[in-house]
Amino acid sequence: MTETAGQTTLNYRAQGFYLKDFSFESPKAPRIFAQNMPKPKMELSVDVGVQNIENNNFEVALRTNAQASVDGEVIFLVEVVFAGMFAVNPELSKDAIERILLVDCPRDIFPFSRRIIADTTREGGFAPLILDPVDFEMVYQSRKKAA
């Protein structure tokens, strides 16, 4: 929020959230459940995509991929693209808008993706995969330094 002359202005506002793409695969089922399975090796990736829809309305999409494997064989793969529509205050600087779209908006979206992944892996017969929170601020700052 920005405060000017005693008035508070929102820097951005969520207009809605939605599941954009989703996939779950368990290629070794049901055989994988008939054996004592060791702890799987987890690979996780999280990516943020931003698309300007109109004026200062943006779609921010959080793509989360999680893959579990045992002895080099995939036991499950889940891919979620969860997105939100956001209106951003046009009076903000370009840098401030960029930070909102790459830090604040993904932070708002992440709990939805996290819940879908946990529920899906549980319903798939595995222990629920509870993702650790992502520090989008740190990711943003490290990408800015690398650029």
If one counts the domains in the chain, the total is 1
Place of tokens 């579990």: 68
pLDDT score of 36 more than 60: yes
For residue 56, is it within any domain?
A: yes
Give pTM, 2 decimals.
0.88
User: Could you count the other beta carbons within 10 Å of the beta carbon of residue 31?
Assistant: 9
For residue 25, is it within any domain?
A: yes
Report residue 37's pLDDT band, with 50, 70 and 90 as the boundaries.
confident
Q: CB–CB of 35/130 below 8 Å?
A: no
The tokens describing 79, both together, are: 């891919």
pLDDT score of 7 more than 90: no
Note the pLDDT tens digit of each residue in 106-136: 999 999 999 999 999 999 999 999 999 999 9
The pLDDT, as a whole number, for residue 79 is: 98
3-class DSSP assignment, residue 103: helix
For residue 86, is it within any domain?
A: yes
3-class DSSP assignment, residue 11: coil
Domain holding 69, by residue range, is 20-131
For residue 115, is it within any domain?
A: yes
pLDDT score of 6 more than 70: no
CATH of residue 54's domain is 3.10.420.10
For residue 15, is it within any domain?
A: no
For residue 41, is it within any domain?
A: yes
Cα–Cα distance measured from residue 15 to residue 85, given in angstroms and rounded to the nearest whole number? 5
The pLDDT, as a whole number, for residue 9 is: 59
* Length of the chain (residues): 147
Greater confidence (114 vs 147) lies with 114
Note the pLDDT tens digit of each residue in 56-112: 999 999 999 999 999 899 999 999 999 999 999 999 999 999 999 999 999 999 999
The pLDDT, as a whole number, for residue 147 is: 74
For residue 59, is it within any domain?
A: yes
Q: CB–CB of 18/84 below 8 Å?
A: yes
Q: Which residues contact 106 (CB under 8 A, 6 or more apart)?
A: 48, 60, 62, 134, 136
For residue 143, is it within any domain?
A: no
